[in-house]
Amino acid sequence: MKNWRNLILAIAGFTLLAGCTTNPYTGESQAGKAGIYGGVGAVTGALIGAATSSKKDRGKGALIGAAVGGAAGGGYGYYVDTQEAKLRQTLQGTGVQVQRNGNDLKLIMPGNITFASNSADISSGFYGTLNSLVLTFKEFDKNGIDIVGHTDSTGSLELNQNLSNRRAQSVAAYLSGNGVQASRISAYGAGPSQPIASNANEAGRAQNRRVEINLRPL
């Protein structure tokens, strides 16, 4: 039993080390998220393989399970790594932030570059950024695209809810109108209900006025 447990630990360590890379777009050394996913997949697969094998074949079962689990986990991790790098490169200097949390990517688009005040009409200067996103979303088509509009707390709740919804719908309509599959897209407004800064001052209110695009596995 001790031997196959040691084997599982060795598999996880090797997979993680193999996934360590330098991001070609950011220059950052990363314990490769692909390596992390691969390591998790390998350990999970190895445990299942060992548990479902006879006592004398547990080592062999662990190896087979690790190979299958590592490939599945690392494959999607590499996909997200590549997509994240492409988005960071494409959106550099646009004012759009790229955040990552596990398998999910979030794009934060400040209101001052996306829409005029109290308007759901996309600013003319933002079309170039949206066109770049269209190309990226077509290239990386394994994600659902959840678009959420947000406002500050100034004005009535009804006004803000309606405005945030119309802004999210405007972005969704632009993406689908330019060839991104509508079946991948959802859009809704959150109004002022999800602030990321204080609404007590203008700097905070400016941060709260935004549109977010959440990319998640389909």
Per-residue pLDDT of the chain (218 residues; tens, 9 = 90+): 555 455 455 555 555 554 554 444 344 444 455 555 555 555 554 455 445 555 555 555 555 555 555 545 566 678 899 999 999 999 999 999 999 998 899 999 999 999 998 999 999 999 999 999 999 999 999 999 999 999 999 999 999 999 999 999 999 999 999 999 999 999 999 999 999 999 999 999 999 999 999 999 87
Structural domain including 17 reads 2-89
The pLDDT of residue 103: 85
State the CB neighbour count (10 A cutoff) for residue 54. Answer: 8
Strand order in the sheet with 97-101: 97-101, 104-110, 210-217, 143-150, 185-189
| 16 and 122 together in one domain | no
The pLDDT of residue 79: 87
| 198 and 149 together in one domain | yes
The pLDDT of residue 173: 98
The pLDDT of residue 136: 96
The pLDDT of residue 25: 38
Domain count along the chain: 2
> 123 to each of 43, 179, 204, 205, how far by Cα in Å?
49, 20, 22, 19
Amino acid at the residue 108: I
Last residue of a domain, one of 33, 54, 89: 89
| Ramachandran region, residue 187 (left: φ > 0; alpha: ψ -120 to 50; beta: rest) | beta
| 100 and 82 together in one domain | no
Amino acid at the residue 17: L
